[in-house]
Amino acid sequence: MYAYNLFQSTKLDGLVCAVPEERTVPPFVVEPNWRFGGRVQSQEAPLGFDRKAAMEGVRFNGFYLFASFQKDRSNQ
């Protein structure tokens, strides 16, 4: 099982790019459109993160894109 670094879109679309720690971050994940959003390992995945889909996405693309349904706590 991977530990993932999460990168959140700075737009209001809720898009998150999950990249396994041992993989390279995709070239489209750059500031100011993306920011580091933390790390996921074991069972602490955000709402919207699907581990099976993540494994398939990483297998084919090297990363996994998903829509997060959690409210960004930094905006509270």
pLDDT recorded at residue 52: 92
> If DSSP codes are grouped into helix, strand and coil, which group holds residue 59?
helix
pLDDT recorded at residue 57: 94
pLDDT recorded at residue 70: 65
pLDDT recorded at residue 47: 83
| Cβ–Cβ under 8 Å, residues 67 and 9 | no
Using one digit for the tens of pLDDT, what is the confidence trace for 12-65? 888 999 999 999 999 999 999 999 999 988 767 888 899 899 999 999 999 999
- Specify the pTM: 0.84
DSSP letters spanning 2-46: --EEEEEESSTT-EEEEEETTSPPPTT--TTTEEEEEEE-TT-PP
